[in-house]
């Protein structure tokens, strides 16, 4: 099968999942063509059966703003025609699904038929799509997609409710490579982070307001009152400056390590004790799954798809949004009860292996592709 994949090539969950899906499909013998404005960051070396097509956005004095959506459509048409693609799979509704729809309409004029599948990842539905100016377009692109998948039951229901549509949406959970994300010895990194033998809390994200980064610092402040602890923050984004300011204000600047964007996540996660995810909005929680696969219990908010991933009082704990006191209490409980911690750690790894291994999830995408192509 020849599959075109369009995604945002960034560190966000949608780009990571789309890239890992493409890599898994290529390893199964399918030919995968990525179409985007930059190469996805996890395509950092040569992979057999993987091809990248860059979308070039021309700049003309007449156009005050970038015409990325139309440039993407043109590149899709070019790749579909010359590479003879069987299917387009776009991740994120705006503008990818709209561009795919336009490409399909152009092809129909020349008596060619191409089907496209849209995977909804979260903020395209819960944030961007709810902008009044975008709502009709998001609704239209979902209804016109030949197939639609969502990364959690929560996101499926949210989509059907928010946009008042009747569409058969397939829930296919996010996945990870359990051989890559697994418990490992990270003594060197741990000694660097916690030279005094402190416990280590960790959080990774794109530092947007919905991630509530400052809550992780407030949790640290409360936990430190009872247990020597460090906090490792991985990622970057608009809330980093505010988080750094808060750490200084609470005199925690020596206990909070801002590592910026990192690729060596497994080493960082394996050197940590608990993963924090106090998000305001989270359609699935891929970074929490990566931590669980490394045997790290998760303390998170109870939003979105997180309760479908984190089993309360088994693989971690769930609390209400903004309830920093309860989250800190849960962290302290785990860090002071070795037997419970080991049980949660084992359960977290087992849940990742039994339910979210790429070898279980990727075949579901292939099966869905075939279903749509044959419909």
Residue 129: predicted pLDDT: 46
Strand partners, 275: 202, 298
Residue 54 main-chain phi, psi, to 5 deg: -85, 135
Cite the DSSP H helix spans in 163-305.
Answer: 187-193, 213-224, 240-249, 265-270, 286-293
Residue 342: predicted pLDDT: 96
Q: Which stretches of the chain score pLDDT less than 50?
A: 129
In this prediction the pTM is: 0.90
**Sheet containing 229-235: order of strands:** 256-260, 229-235, 199-205, 274-277, 298-301, 316-319
Q: Where do the structural domains in the chain lie, given as residue ranges?
A: 2-175+357-374, 187-355
Asked if the domains at 2-175+357-374 and 187-355 fall in one CATH topology, the answer is: yes
Residue 46: predicted pLDDT: 86
Residue 64: predicted pLDDT: 65
Structure confidence by residue, pLDDT tens digits, 240-274: 999 999 999 999 999 999 999 887 788 999 999 99
14 by DSSP, 3-state: which?
helix
Would you state the CATH architecture of domain 187-355?
3-Layer(aba) Sandwich (3.40)
Residue 55 main-chain phi, psi, to 5 deg: -85, 115
CA–CA distances in Å: residue 32 to residues 15, 184, 192, 248: 15, 31, 40, 47
The whole-angstrom separation of Cα 50 and Cα 175 is 20
Strand partners, 260: 234
The whole-angstrom separation of Cα 70 and Cα 76 is 10
Q: According to CATH, what is the number of the domain 2-175+357-374? A: 3.40.50.2000
15 by DSSP, 3-state: which?
helix
- Closest listed residue to residue 11, CA positions, set 275, 302, 211, 200: 211
């Amino acid at each position: 099968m020849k599959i075109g994949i369009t995604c945002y090539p960034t560190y966000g969950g949608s780009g990571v999942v789309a890239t890992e899906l493409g890599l898994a499909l290529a390893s199964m013998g399918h030919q995968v063509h990525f179409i985007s404005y930059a190469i996805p960051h996890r395509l950092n070396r040569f992979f057999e059966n993987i091809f990248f097509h860059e979308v070039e956005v021309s700049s003309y004095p007449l156009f005050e703003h970038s015409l990325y959506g139309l440039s993407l459509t043109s590149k899709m048409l070019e790749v579909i025609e010359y590479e003879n693609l069987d299917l387009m799979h776009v991740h994120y509704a705006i503008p990818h699904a709209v561009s795919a729809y336009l490409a399909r309409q152009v092809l129909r004029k020349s008596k060619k038929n191409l089907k496209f599948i849209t995977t909804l990842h979260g903020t395209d539905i819960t944030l961007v799509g709810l902008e009044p100016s975008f709502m009709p377009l998001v609704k239209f692109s979902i209804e016109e997609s030949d197939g639609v998948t969502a990364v959690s039951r929560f996101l499926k229901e949210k989509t059907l409710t928010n946009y008042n549509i009747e569409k058969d949406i397939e829930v296919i959970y996010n996945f990870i490579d359990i051989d890559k994300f697994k418990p490992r010895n990270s003594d060197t990194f741990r000694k660097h982070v916690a030279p005094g033998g402190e416990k280590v809390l960790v959080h990774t994200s794109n530092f947007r307001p919905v991630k509530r980064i400052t809550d992780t610092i407030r949790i640290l402040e409360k936990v430190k009152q009872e247990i020597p602890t460090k906090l490792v923050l991985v990622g970057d984004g608009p809330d980093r400056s505010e988080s750094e300011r808060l750490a200084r204000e609470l005199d925690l600047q020596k206990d909070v390590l801002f590592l910026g964007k990192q690729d060596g996540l497994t080493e960082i996660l394996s050197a940590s004790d608990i993963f924090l995810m106090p998000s305001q909005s989270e359609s699935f929680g891929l970074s929490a799954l990566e931590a669980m696969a490394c045997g790290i219990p998760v303390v998170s908010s109870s939003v979105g798809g997180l309760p479908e991933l984190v089993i309360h009082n088994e693989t971690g704990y769930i609390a209400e949004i903004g309830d920093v006191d309860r989250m800190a209490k849960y962290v302290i409980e785990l860090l002071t009860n070795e037997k419970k911690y080991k049980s949660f750690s084992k359960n977290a790894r087992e849940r990742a292996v039994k339910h979210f291994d790429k070898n279980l999830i990727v075949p579901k995408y292939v099966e869905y592709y075939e279903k749509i192509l044959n419909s």
